């Protein structure tokens, strides 16, 4: 049961108007507090304190109310009956949305032939959790790994391969597309070095730059050799993406479809834009002006084709809106990227609306903040390089291993803990703000951390595994810590609802942390399997333990955490 909703609805129904229900910080005087007397006083032109006196008996009549009292200018504090809480707390179930939506989610969005780096951590972790939340709320999501697989970096990579293997058949005029290319392959580590090397060279060597840019355009226009080569390194890169996200326990993407796939739709999109008079020529490029008279901030045009005729990042994003509408026909499209891309999405959404492709209120960009090091600058590894995602994972694994040296944990468990540490830490921060990544504190087994959460779940599992005593309600005489825990369990649905509405993954993480705090308080004050405890109480406590465990698991599933057998 969603206790908050139940209490709120019952009060509104009883009084015949809608009041606000709050959960007070200090719960000494009640589990909830309502401003019903203030609202009612305004409606009836009465004094709130007087009206509170009239309302109080009505609230006391509600079957779940243990006691109610008036505080301050007319707030009414309500305490809920123990047996009501105990009998109605239940394991949260996936919900049925009143209006189930189809939501296209664009996150991850890794780049071919570039390693996943720290900038991809949040889009991956937060995107996956939002996806799980949306599904839990009863919506249908389609997750897209909208890869950077067709832009200028592809030209750089191919130009570099050409430089180191000029004799390879892909670069010869008589290249035969039906040839067996199995002898040509790449080690992923090596492949990921090509782009940075090529980009560095292109900075100093304008001839090389020119060549790389021409290769991009030729690749897009169907050059057989370049496309054959592309078809060799692209799957190697895709596999690397999949391996890394599998380590992070991320749901597989529904579609690994990126810029290349979108580019297939540039022709019909171009026609649409022409029909709407939106395309303009500018210095040999084709642009779309999106500035409005009311804009105060700079709002540059989008570029559809550059002056070489190559398809741009902008064009592939416009085309992606087009084909998603054509194929999924979603109610919403949601993008999750670094907030530094906010302008790009503002431009994109304007184009989508101008072209009549998508209603601007149903297309949404969530921009997340940067992960910094202790110096407040983007996190770097000890060698001073921008950290790769695999490095970050390894740093967390090493930190957990050092910390748990005396615990005799196997590698799989250490990895599970490290991943939970990374993910929980990422999710607990307001996703729109920057945060400082400190491997030491995020892997601590105490405090607001992933390992603490796992440890709490392991502890409950081990109690439940240790006994054959049936978990059932046999004693409604519960103590304060049991009450608090049950109320926390009954607050799950409200939390997920709020996390969904606010696109706020930190609400789930903070909920989980508070739930764990309540669980551990219960664990300490309420002995469960103890000879001194009568069997009815043991059964009831086991019942609460099981409920808490299942609720915690449901919540940690939303974060994609996996619980080890022991810690
Ligand atoms: N590949 C881009 C990057 O790594 C992000 C793409 C985001 N999605 C999109 N539809 N533009 O920065």
pLDDT of residue 386: 75
Distance from the alpha carbon of residue 343 to the mean position of ligand 1, in angstroms: 13
Non-local CB neighbours of 325 within 8 Å, separated by 6+ positions: 357, 358
Nearest-atom index, ligand 1, CA of 320: 10
Residue nearest to atom 4 of ligand 1 (CA): 110
Residues near ligand 1 (Cβ within 6 A): 106, 109, 111, 146, 148, 317, 320, 335, 337
Distance from the alpha carbon of residue 404 to the mean position of ligand 1, in angstroms: 37
Q: How would DSSP label each residue in 41-55? A: HHHHT--HHHHHHHH
Helix intervals (H) in 279-434:
313-327, 342-354, 389-403, 411-428
Distance from the alpha carbon of residue 268 to the mean position of ligand 1, in angstroms: 22
pLDDT of residue 317: 98
334: part of which helix (H) or strand (E)? strand 332-338
| CB of 439 closer than 8 Å to CB of 394 | no
Residue nearest to atom 7 of ligand 1 (CA): 109
Distance from the alpha carbon of residue 110 to the mean position of ligand 1, in angstroms: 7
User: How far apart (Å, rounded) are the C-alpha atoms in residues 307 and 322?
Assistant: 23
Distance from the alpha carbon of residue 258 to the mean position of ligand 1, in angstroms: 9
Q: How far apart are the first and last CA of the chain?
A: 32
pLDDT of residue 32: 95
pTM of the model: 0.95
Collapsed DSSP state (helix, strand, coil) of residue 154: helix
The tens digit of pLDDT for each residue in 11-25 reads 999 999 999 999 988
pLDDT of residue 10: 97
| CB of 519 closer than 8 Å to CB of 548 | yes
pLDDT of residue 461: 97
For the sheet with 332-338, list strands across it: 140-144, 102-106, 332-338, 363-368
Pocket mutation for ligand 1, best pick of 341, 342, 363, 364 (most atoms within 8 Å of C-beta): 341
pLDDT of residue 28: 84
Residue-range domain boundaries for the chain: 3-80, 152-247, 389-558
User: How far apart (Å, rounded) are the C-alpha atoms in residues 301 and 299?
Assistant: 7
Pocket mutation for ligand 1, best pick of 121, 143, 146 (most atoms within 8 Å of C-beta): 146
pLDDT of residue 291: 96
pLDDT of residue 380: 83
Q: 3-80 adopts what CATH topology?
A: Gyrase A; domain 2 (3.30.1360)
Instruction: Show the tokens assigned to 253.
Output: 């993407």
Q: Is 470 exposed, middle or buried (0-12, 13-18, 19+ CB in 10 A)?
A: exposed
Main-chain dihedrals φ then ψ at residue 437, nearest 5 degrees:
-95, 115
Pocket mutation for ligand 1, best pick of 337, 344, 367, 368 (most atoms within 8 Å of C-beta): 337
Distance of CA 452 to the CA centre of its chain: 21
pLDDT of residue 242: 96
Residue nearest to atom 5 of ligand 1 (CA): 109
Distance from the alpha carbon of residue 248 to the mean position of ligand 1, in angstroms: 19
Instruction: Tell me if 3-80 shares its fold with 389-558.
Output: no
User: How far apart (Å, rounded) are the C-alpha atoms in residues 33 and 21?
Assistant: 6
User: For the chain, percent helix, then strand, then coil, each to nearest 5?
Assistant: 55, 10, 35
Distance from the alpha carbon of residue 147 to the mean position of ligand 1, in angstroms: 7
Distance from the alpha carbon of residue 257 to the mean position of ligand 1, in angstroms: 12
pLDDT of residue 446: 95
Nearest-atom index, ligand 1, CA of 120: 4
Pocket mutation for ligand 1, best pick of 114, 115, 148 (most atoms within 8 Å of C-beta): 148
Collapsed DSSP state (helix, strand, coil) of residue 420: helix
Regions of the chain short of the pLDDT cut 70: none
Locate the DSSP E strands across 199-301. Answer: 279-282, 285-288
Q: 389-558 adopts what CATH topology?
A: Isoleucyl-tRNA Synthetase; Domain 1 (1.10.730)
Nearest-atom index, ligand 1, CA of 148: 1
């Amino acid at each position: 049961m969603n206790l908050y909703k139940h209490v709120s609805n019952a009060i509104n129904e009883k009084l015949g108007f809608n009041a606000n229900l709050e959960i007070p910080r200090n719960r000494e005087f009640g589990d909830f507090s309502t401003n019903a007397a203030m609202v009612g006083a305004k409606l009836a032109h009465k004094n709130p304190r007087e009206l509170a006196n009239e309302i109080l008996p009505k609230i006391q009549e509600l079957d779940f109310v243990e006691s109610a009292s008036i505080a301050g200018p007319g707030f009414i504090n309500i305490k809920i009956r123990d047996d009501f809480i105990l009998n109605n707390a239940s394991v949260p179930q996936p919900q049925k949305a009143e209006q189930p939506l189809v939501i296209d989610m664009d996150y991850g969005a890794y780049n071919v032939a570039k390693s996943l780096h720290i900038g991809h951590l949040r889009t991956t972790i937060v995107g996956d959790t939002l996806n799980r939340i949306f599904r839990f709320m009863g919506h249908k999501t389609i997750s897209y790994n909208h890869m950077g697989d067709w832009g200028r970096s592809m030209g750089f990579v191919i130009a570099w391969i050409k430089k180191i293997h000029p004799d390879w058949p892909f670069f010869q005029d008589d290249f035969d597309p039906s040839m067996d290319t199995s002898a040509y392959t790449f080690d992923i580590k090596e492949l990921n070095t090509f782009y940075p090397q090529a980009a560095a060279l292109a900075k100093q060597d304008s001839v090389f730059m020119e060549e790389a840019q021409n290769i991009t355009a030729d690749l897009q226009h169907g050059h057989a050799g370049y496309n054959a080569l592309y078809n060799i390194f692209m799957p190697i890169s895709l596999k690397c993406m999949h391996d890394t996200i599998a380590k992070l326990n991320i749901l597989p993407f529904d579609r690994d479809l990126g810029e290349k796939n979108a580019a297939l739709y540039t022709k019909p999109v171009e026609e649409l834009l022409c029909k709407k008079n939106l395309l303009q020529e500018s210095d040999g490029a084709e642009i779309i002006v999106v500035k409005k008279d009311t804009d105060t901030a700079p709002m540059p045009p989008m570029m559809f084709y550059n002056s070489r005729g190559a398809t741009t990042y902008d064009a592939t994003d416009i085309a992606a809106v087009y084909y998603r509408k054509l194929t999924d026909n979603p109610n919403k499209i949601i993008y999750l990227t670094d907030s530094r891309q906010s302008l790009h999405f503002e431009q994109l959404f304007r184009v989508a609306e101008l072209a009549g492709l998508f209603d601007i209120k149903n297309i949404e960009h969530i921009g997340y903040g940067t992960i910094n090091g202790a110096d407040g600058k983007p996190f770097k590894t000890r060698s001073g390089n921008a950290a790769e995602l695999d490095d970050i994972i390894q740093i967390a694994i090493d930190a957990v291993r050092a910390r748990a040296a005396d615990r005799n944990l196997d590698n799989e468990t250490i990895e599970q803990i490290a991943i939970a540490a990374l993910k929980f830490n990422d999710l607990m921060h307001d996703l729109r703000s920057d945060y400082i990544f400190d491997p030491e504190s995020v892997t601590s087994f105490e405090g607001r951390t992933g390992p603490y959460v796992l440890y709490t779940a392991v502890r409950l599992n081990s109690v439940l595994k240790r006994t054959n005593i049936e978990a059932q309600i046999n004693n409604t005489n519960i103590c304060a810590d049991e009450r608090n825990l049950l109320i926390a369990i009954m607050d799950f649905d409200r939390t997920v609802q709020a996390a969904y509405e606010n696109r706020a993954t930190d609400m789930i993480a903070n909920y989980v942390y508070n739930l764990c705090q309540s669980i551990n308080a219960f664990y300490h004050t309420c002995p469960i399997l103890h000879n001194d405890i009568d069997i009815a109480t043991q059964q009831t406590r086991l019942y609460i333990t099981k409920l808490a465990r299942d609720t915690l698991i449901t919540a940690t599933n939303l974060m994609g955490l996996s619980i080890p057998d022991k810690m």
